Structure 1
Amino acid sequence: MTTHHFTMLATAVGMALAANFSYAQDNQATKNIEQISVLGSRVANRTVTESSSPIDLIDTDDLNKGGFTELGQSLQATAPSFNFSRTQVSDGSDLFRPATLRGLQPDQTLVLINGKRRHNQSIFGLNGTVGAGAAGTDMNAIPLSALRGVEVLRDGAAAQYGSDAIAGVINLSLNDSTGVTTGYVQMGSTGEGDGDTVAVGLNRGFDLGTAGGFINFSAEYRDAKGTNRAERDIGGSADVPPGTLSEQVRWRQGNADSEFTSLFYNMVLPVGDSELYSFAGYSTRTALGNGFYRNFNEAAKNVVQVYSDGFLPMIDNEAQDSSFAAGWRGDITADWRFDLSAVYGENQYDFTSKNTINASYAAEYVFNNPTASAAEIVANAGPNGGYSGGFRFDQTTFNVDINGIIDIGLSEPVYVSMGSEYRKEHYQIVPGEEASYACGVANHDTSYPAVNDAGVFAECGFQAYNGLRPEASNKQSRDSYAFYLDAETLLTDAWQVSAAVRYEDFSDAGDDLIGKLATRYEFSDDFAVRGALSSGFRAPSLQQSAYTAYTTNLGAGGVLLQSFTATAGADFPAALGVESLELESSENMSVGFVYDVTSELSLTVDFYHIAIKDRITLGSLMSAEEVAFSPAAVAALNATGAEQANYFSNSVDSTTKGVDIIASYRTDLYEGDFSATFAGNLNNTEIDNVNAPAGVPDSIALDDLQRSFLTNGQPSERATLTFDYQRGDYNSMLRFNYFGDTEVKYFGNDHIGLPDELSPTGEFKNTSEVEAALLVDINIGYQLTEAFMVSAGVDNLFDVTPDELGADETLDFITNQAFKYPVRALPYGFDGMTYYTKVSFSF
């Protein structure tokens, strides 16, 4: 962290305290003080402020302030320890974004719904993205209208909740209201006049019986048009020589056209002294994304008889997500309760290529018919699109939980929870249709000279999303079981202690015994300190251990190369000393305090230290030249038929340190209710050790590209400052959102290897940087009637975007000056200002 950035954030903290600000998520403000937390403690009557671990409690009012209609964006604007980085032109990134806590990976945060484990998504970002190789939870598959609130436990909790909870836990509580219909209609656009969005949400709950039973339904629909910040390029065409600006914008840099539909329900039905419960959801999303523009004279990729001016390949992404949970809970005795549950979740991603070509089809035809006419070449060039493949993941979890109290004569009884868990998971890679990956119509291991340049070979498979081949298709499954014991009590009226121990065993990755100790000491009614020590683990996901694919990636000189990702234990990684994937392990320490300065002002500060050993990373793609020190690795690579390959490994030991600072204030002001909120997060990740097998260079196990994304791909400083004011029928919100900078080695790095003499400045910049930024959001609402409220607002009021690319940046060169902004490690995107109007109703 630079001195400049630290000073900026410290100044903001000081301003917040001086102004007596308040944070409505982790405080004792009126609206939250009596709310019970599901996370952090298994004691049924613990409130957020009584927890020994820091917890953000965010209700739907907080989530819906501003114009964000996606859960991930709303959380990022509300909880600074939560990041939701944007990535563009990366397979699948038009539908999902990595959701992270405290700068760690997406799969190092556990997500629950109603306290039950949520399944992960079936795909992950590839190299050169935040969260590369980590299949986290798809936060945007869950509609805002289905939620009552969100809890964010900012502490290691694997001993309490199981694998993945290294950075923390996010619990999504579903709506349980009855007798009222609520909803909204929202329309918006960007300051550039594109990205028109329409979103509609509806929720209604019904009583079941007279003993407190209910069923609550929600539905949500969203349609968003794409945005484009690309500019005219100098790639040339049939009528325009290269080096001349095109007449139109042909590239695309922005959000995809997308559509989202979801249905959820939440139900509880009392049966005697117990109750049955169930919840479920289904969502489907589509997004029409794109790849890089293929220039007319790129003979290996294009057939000019088909696309005389080149073409922009499109990728139609489709995601389906479904889940179902059912359970039975009730009293065993007056002091003991049980909870039996089963949860099923499934995630599917499919890719269909459009406006593309398999250049090898026409190349094979011309090879066999050298006198073919242009019309004949077009007729035999194969399809211009088709199914390119997909991924499937499902998870079934059974839990038996028992909790109760044991009185041993202390100030408070010992609250005890114990239970077991069994989990079954399946993962599948679905191959695409033959034209999406084939080498010529015959699909032999044969290369054909390109139609328009016999000096190069035509590339196989569709451009942009090279289809998943049958030899890369895969089906894998595994199971795991776990047992846990959790106890908590007050040793004195002021001293709370808790302990947890958990044993978990995975059929493919081994087992671990972990634990957690936490304490909270109350010096007075206004001041308490808290802290925790814990060990944790994360098992490699099936998405990591079973993933294999042929893809197209940028290589040296900025050209696209066929690439291969090998499964764990395959010949290529085995030749480099990686036989399998092992468990990640962690040690978490946290210490902090809660201080109610006055009845209106509170402050919490929590320091944390997270040491992770054997972190799993997806290695960068390596050529035969780079692994020449191992003849076995060269032979294994050649056997794949690809020019470069990579694999997953437990390559890194790291330490993440940081602090969360939250100050909150609430008061009456001019006959209205005023609150102000400051929340800041500082964090820093360092690489402690590279776990390279004997004889393998560290640069093979972890190169500079991977290192940069782990340490600098997410902001090290984040802060929000929010003012809310409500008087009569009027309400308003003003929010400042600060993002620290990021700097990574991608699309502006030395691994692409462009010679500096191609740079207009004589030297290419070797990193890609997104500068620190302060975004301002504003919202004003008016209660028209008892049932209807209208609001309007602007997000990113001052149209802040990253600095534009310079002539010395590789991305500017390889896109022929078409791309205006960086495309990786973008914490706040590049769309600029957006505005919206919203009608909310409740009756």
Structure 2
Amino acid sequence: MKKILLLVLVAMLGFCGQIQAQTKTLTGKVTDSKDGSALPGVSVVVKGSKLGTATSGTGEFTLKAPNAATTLVFSSVGYVTKEVSIPSSGVLAVSLDPSSSQLEEVVVSTGSRNSKRTMTDTPLPIDILSANELRSTGQTSFDKALQYRVPSFNTVNTPVNDATSLLDPYEIRNMGPSRTLILINGKRKNTSALMYIQTSPGRGESGADISAIPQQAIKRVEILRDGASAQYGSDAIAGVMNIILKDKFDYGSATLTTGITHKGDGKHIGFSVNNGSNFGKGGFVNYTIDFSRTTLANRPGKVSAEAEADANLGFDAPLAQVKSFLALKPDAGNINGQPENTAAKFLINSGIPVGETAELYFNAAYVYKRVNSFANYRTPYWRTTDDGLLTPAGQPYLGYVPTFQGDLNDYNATIGVKNEKNGWKTDLSFTTGGNKQLYTVSNSRNRSLGKNSPTYFKPGGYEFSHNVGNIDISKQLNDKLSLSFGSEFRAETFTVFVGDTSSYVGTGADSFPGTTPNNAGSNSRFNFGGYIDLGYDITDNFLVNGTIRSEHYSDFGSATVYKISSRYKVNDKITLRGSYSTGFRAPLLHQIYQQQAQASFVPGQGIQTKGIVNNVSPQAFALGVPKLTPEKSTNFTLGLGLNPTKNLSVTLDYYNIKVKDRIVLGSEIAGTSAGNTALDNILKSNGIVAVSFFANALNTTTSGLDFVVSQKNIDLGMGKLGINLAGNYTFENKYTSINNPKLIADAGKSIFDRTQDALLFSSRPKYKVILGFDYLIKGININLNNTLFGKTRFHQNGLDANTDTEFTPAVVSDLAISIPLSKQTTFSFNVNNVLNVMPKWDFIDLKTGTKTRFDANNNVPTAKYWEQYNLITFNGRYSNVTYDGSQFSQLGTIFNASLNVKF
């Protein structure tokens, strides 16, 4: 037996030795041919096989290849693919040439419909962010990663978390979420079903849910910071964000992420896989699966007993009763901050060669998201009973906290065919997408139903969907002239779902009344448009580009817009660029048809209505509110690009955006104190106590400056240091006129008050600057990012006419460290907001300019601003950010770690 085992062992060793002898180990380093810098992430593949790896942070690689292998293929975005023969030594030193053609494709997909230009030559300001740059922020969602990489991009968690917790409002250049067009691989992403109606930034608008896009699926992001309605149609007044998905498969990877706040809450766990395959001549499939869960992070303030007991500020309750309850719950049981969030995301992207000149391509994504949050706690002196429905038998009644659950389903898919023949490029595609949100309220009751009330409600929800067809054709006619033209057909549908009867009857579900049958329904429209684009190189250094577009909408008519842009290269180091365009934004179906009028019984006065009435309702007609028409805009930019050295680049871009007939959700209109105007008569005859509505209410002007300074390859010790400075400064963001309906103006009222003014024009930072340091040493990457958030100003409901609140400037520092544990494994650690900087705000006396920091812990009833502080923080519940929000997150320091394994 021993002899047999010995023979088997010898045979196995021989076989292993034979296998070992059939492979060889290859090592090497890949650098940039221009500046000699190391190139991380370069794909290294044995030609004719699927064997491969990627270079490390120092540009180095190790690969086992068959003895018969003769050639390696090196490829990376922005560089010319290179085939290199394997030397007998097995050691390679490879330099890659920058590829103007690949960079041209970056610009053509976002900046123009035909003219291919490198980044230096582009006539338009475009930011390009790689997937690595986004991941290095340590942020768990795509929108929050952009917040700390793009100065003109702003988003923050809303302080009041119900339906808005499903999607935080974001914007570019302080223009609101509905004025930035979101594309995926150059095709329009569907808008969210949610419209923001609370007093927070983004009020009255909606945008695409970019937080639903898994970061592992993103190859790069292109942000065009310029009006682009002539190229893409509606929604592109502020700019365009084009999310490019991973395509050709290099390697698979799995990433495990985890995180927690410095207070031990807000725990995050996530797992994602990106994988795929290449096939045929250029065919590929790339897919991503992403699961994540984030638990509640609670940031309530200490509640004032005196304010709670006060008849004007609180609940006119006995002070002793209030103090007794607050002794048990100093925050009055309130829960606010970051809600619990669970998400599952799936995405696939593929291209299939068809013949010699065509490609069939498709991509699809599906996201399911569930958010659990809380309404304000109903204290026992606010809601004096729960009719025995919510308190277990035998326990004292201490009030209750209604919960809110939002279930979101978001999908998008595109299928198309690209072809090139005789110099003509054609792209035919069909895109579909939708966003559906359904809500659930628990641990609540309908007070008008008494003991017959349920404690679980389905108050309804919203859905938006679209179908889009595109045809794009282009050709380079000669060395100087290029032509592009095409058309688009889009059909949209917006649906409001009715709530269950108990959620809306009488007073409705406490905290979130349901949608009544009168306010539910489905509405659709379609539009058809076409464009033509010409690019002309007057000289090698001087080019001009012009685009004209015309669209027809089934509900309001036609719009025609145009754009002219140009670039002039003074020399290899100085480039001048500029553009002028007109634009439009069609009113959202949400803005036309959403209605949230709440009927209630007022003793002695009967049934009365209060809420939002839609733009085509009899009430809006009676008030003389015109039907919504498109916003019209003009957009002027002027820029300068400098390249003093091969490692230093500087860009400065001035912008000026004027919007006419800007659509806003107006302030609440109530009757006059005299009670004898035509407005009073209309409100009384329609049973309306107070009402808000959408209108083309404003003409606005926004101007500012974007700048980017990048210095790379600074020798520091044994490593290389890169420095990036990017910023945005707003010169002007204001309205120039208000268009009030005559009936309302005659009554001395306005649909636009100071609270709305602040939300639109000063609730985002006046300036924002990001200073980043990136240090690479022996494969270890250390990134320190410092984001300066400028001041923001609010005028919350409850402030007197002589007072505003202002959040003071603050610097948030983020540290990221990435360590390659092996050729296939990388560990990353992030500390976001290292110094635990929290938003700070002051009261501003508008007459004297005096700033006062209110100390809520030592307040007394006679203290200055005591009453106003309690009005705008709900007696201290929202002390960190007030009821309307702040300029950055209130969660403080957050620790995140991730482990990435390539396979």
AA of the residue aligned to 1:716 = K
The more displaced of 769-778 and 153-162 is: 769-778
SS in 2 for 1:63: helix
The superposition leaves residues 337-359 of structure 1 with CA deviations (integer Å, 9 ceiling, x where unpaired) of 11110000000111110111111
AA of the residue aligned to 1:548 = Q
Summarize the Cα distance change of 1:239–1:99 in structure 2 as closer, same or farther, 3 Å threshold: closer
AA of the residue aligned to 1:258 = N
Check whether the contact 1:353–1:386 (CA below 8 A) recurs between aligned residues.
yes
Partner of 1:13: none
Could you tell me which runs of 5 or more consecutive residues in structure 2 were left unpaired when the two chains were aligned: 1-77, 80-95, 310-316, 392-396, 601-607, 842-853, 857-865
Task: Work out which of the residue numbers 892, 900, 903 in structure 2 matches 1:832.
Answer: 892
Task: Report the CA distance between 1:213 and its aligned residue.
Answer: 0.9
Check whether the contact 2:765–2:792 (CA below 8 A) recurs between aligned residues.
yes
Partner of 1:322: 411
Matches within 5 A, 1:472-511: 472-511=519-558
The superposition leaves residues 50-87 of structure 1 with CA deviations (integer Å, 9 ceiling, x where unpaired) of 21010000010110012101000011110111111321
CA distance in 1, matches of 2:621, 2:673: 16
Check whether the contact 1:737–1:774 (CA below 8 A) recurs between aligned residues.
yes
Partner of 2:46: none
CA distance in 1, matches of 2:823, 2:480: 47
Matches within 5 A, 1:282-293: 282-293=366-377
CA distance in 2, matches of 1:626, 1:672: 72
Check whether the contact 1:747–1:811 (CA below 8 A) recurs between aligned residues.
no
Task: Report the CA distance between 1:515 and its aligned residue.
Answer: 0.3
CA distance in 2, matches of 1:594, 1:666: 17
CA distance in 2, matches of 1:527, 1:818: 54
Partner of 2:32: none
Summarize the Cα distance change of 1:238–1:141 in structure 2 as closer, same or farther, 3 Å threshold: farther
Partner of 1:348: 436
Summarize the Cα distance change of 1:282–1:301 in structure 2 as closer, same or farther, 3 Å threshold: farther
Check whether the contact 2:547–2:564 (CA below 8 A) recurs between aligned residues.
yes
AA of the residue aligned to 1:311 = Y
AA of the residue aligned to 2:741 = P
Task: Work out which of the residue numbers 516, 521, 524 in structure 1 matches 2:571.
Answer: 524
AA of the residue aligned to 2:901 = F
Task: Report the CA distance between 1:552 and its aligned residue.
Answer: 10
Task: Work out which of the residue numbers 733, 745, 749 in structure 1 matches 2:799.
Answer: 749
CA distance in 2, matches of 1:642, 1:290: 30
Partner of 1:756: none
SS in 1 for 2:248: coil
SS in 1 for 2:879: coil
Task: Report the CA distance between 1:817 and its aligned residue.
Answer: 3.0
Partner of 1:259: 342
Summarize the Cα distance change of 1:305–1:570 in structure 2 as closer, same or farther, 3 Å threshold: closer
Q: Which runs of 4+ in 1 moved over 4 A?
A: 27-34, 235-240, 299-307, 626-630, 804-807
Provide TM-score, normalisation by structure 2.
0.80
| Corresponding position: 1:215 with 2:282 | no
The superposition leaves residues 4-52 of structure 1 with CA deviations (integer Å, 9 ceiling, x where unpaired) of xxxxxxxxxxxxxxxxxxxxxxx99998975232211233642222210
| Corresponding position: 1:685 with 2:697 | no
SS in 2 for 1:544: helix
Task: Report the CA distance between 1:297 and its aligned residue.
Answer: 2.2
Task: Work out which of the residue numbers 339, 355, 363 in structure 1 matches 2:427.
Answer: 339
The superposition leaves residues 580-636 of structure 1 with CA deviations (integer Å, 9 ceiling, x where unpaired) of 000100000000110001111110000000000000000112223479565466545
| Corresponding position: 1:579 with 2:615 | no
Matches within 5 A, 1:761-800: 766-800=803-837
Task: Report the CA distance between 1:650 and its aligned residue.
Answer: 0.1
SS in 1 for 2:469: strand
Summarize the Cα distance change of 1:633–1:108 in structure 2 as closer, same or farther, 3 Å threshold: farther
The superposition leaves residues 80-120 of structure 1 with CA deviations (integer Å, 9 ceiling, x where unpaired) of 11111321215422111112110001101111000011110
Check whether the contact 1:789–1:840 (CA below 8 A) recurs between aligned residues.
yes
Task: Report the CA distance between 1:712 and its aligned residue.
Answer: 0.6
Partner of 1:660: 706
AA of the residue aligned to 2:484 = S
CA distance in 1, matches of 2:376, 2:113: 50
Larger radius of gyration: 2
Summarize the Cα distance change of 1:809–1:143 in structure 2 as closer, same or farther, 3 Å threshold: farther
Summarize the Cα distance change of 1:302–1:619 in structure 2 as closer, same or farther, 3 Å threshold: farther
Check whether the contact 1:240–1:246 (CA below 8 A) recurs between aligned residues.
no
| Corresponding position: 1:643 with 2:732 | no
Check whether the contact 2:375–2:403 (CA below 8 A) recurs between aligned residues.
yes
Provide TM-score, normalisation by structure 1.
0.85
Check whether the contact 2:339–2:372 (CA below 8 A) recurs between aligned residues.
yes
CA distance in 2, matches of 1:781, 1:817: 41
Summarize the Cα distance change of 1:179–1:599 in structure 2 as closer, same or farther, 3 Å threshold: closer
CA distance in 2, matches of 1:493, 1:465: 62
CA distance in 2, matches of 1:424, 1:632: 38
Partner of 1:545: 592
Summarize the Cα distance change of 1:299–1:731 in structure 2 as closer, same or farther, 3 Å threshold: closer
What is the root-mean-square deviation of aligned Cα atoms in Å?
2.5
AA of the residue aligned to 1:416 = L
Partner of 2:327: 246
The more displaced of 807-816 and 415-424 is: 807-816
Check whether the contact 1:99–1:137 (CA below 8 A) recurs between aligned residues.
no
Matches within 5 A, 1:116-155: 116-155=187-226
Q: Matched residue pairs, number?
A: 753
Matches within 5 A, 1:725-736: 725-736=775-786
CA distance in 2, matches of 1:768, 1:191: 28
AA of the residue aligned to 2:738 = V
The more displaced of 421-430 and 564-573 is: 564-573
Task: Report the CA distance between 1:481 and its aligned residue.
Answer: 0.4
SS in 2 for 1:61: helix
| Corresponding position: 1:461 with 2:508 | yes
Partner of 1:443: none
Check whether the contact 2:623–2:682 (CA below 8 A) recurs between aligned residues.
no
AA of the residue aligned to 1:145 = Q
Summarize the Cα distance change of 1:619–1:600 in structure 2 as closer, same or farther, 3 Å threshold: same
Task: Report the CA distance between 1:468 and its aligned residue.
Answer: 1.0
| Corresponding position: 1:812 with 2:870 | yes
| Corresponding position: 1:821 with 2:867 | no
SS in 1 for 2:590: helix
AA of the residue aligned to 1:251 = N
CA distance in 1, matches of 2:696, 2:240: 23
| Corresponding position: 1:608 with 2:655 | yes
Partner of 2:238: 167
SS in 1 for 2:298: coil
Check whether the contact 1:811–1:819 (CA below 8 A) recurs between aligned residues.
no
CA distance in 1, matches of 2:423, 2:248: 28
Check whether the contact 1:545–1:568 (CA below 8 A) recurs between aligned residues.
yes
Task: Report the CA distance between 1:183 and its aligned residue.
Answer: 2.9
AA of the residue aligned to 1:353 = V
SS in 2 for 1:484: strand
CA distance in 2, matches of 1:319, 1:232: 33
Summarize the Cα distance change of 1:791–1:240 in structure 2 as closer, same or farther, 3 Å threshold: farther
Matches within 5 A, 1:73-112: 73-89=144-160, 91-112=162-183
Partner of 1:225: 295
Summarize the Cα distance change of 1:633–1:587 in structure 2 as closer, same or farther, 3 Å threshold: farther
AA of the residue aligned to 1:605 = L
The more displaced of 278-287 and 815-824 is: 815-824
Check whether the contact 2:480–2:538 (CA below 8 A) recurs between aligned residues.
no
CA distance in 2, matches of 1:32, 1:653: 44
CA distance in 1, matches of 2:735, 2:679: 29
Task: Report the CA distance between 1:507 and its aligned residue.
Answer: 0.9
CA distance in 1, matches of 2:179, 2:351: 31
Check whether the contact 2:669–2:751 (CA below 8 A) recurs between aligned residues.
no
CA distance in 2, matches of 1:320, 1:301: 37
The superposition leaves residues 402-450 of structure 1 with CA deviations (integer Å, 9 ceiling, x where unpaired) of 100222xxxx3311110010000001000111111112xxxxxxxxxxx
CA distance in 1, matches of 2:827, 2:511: 43
Summarize the Cα distance change of 1:624–1:571 in structure 2 as closer, same or farther, 3 Å threshold: farther
CA distance in 2, matches of 1:469, 1:341: 39
Task: Report the CA distance between 1:246 and its aligned residue.
Answer: 2.9
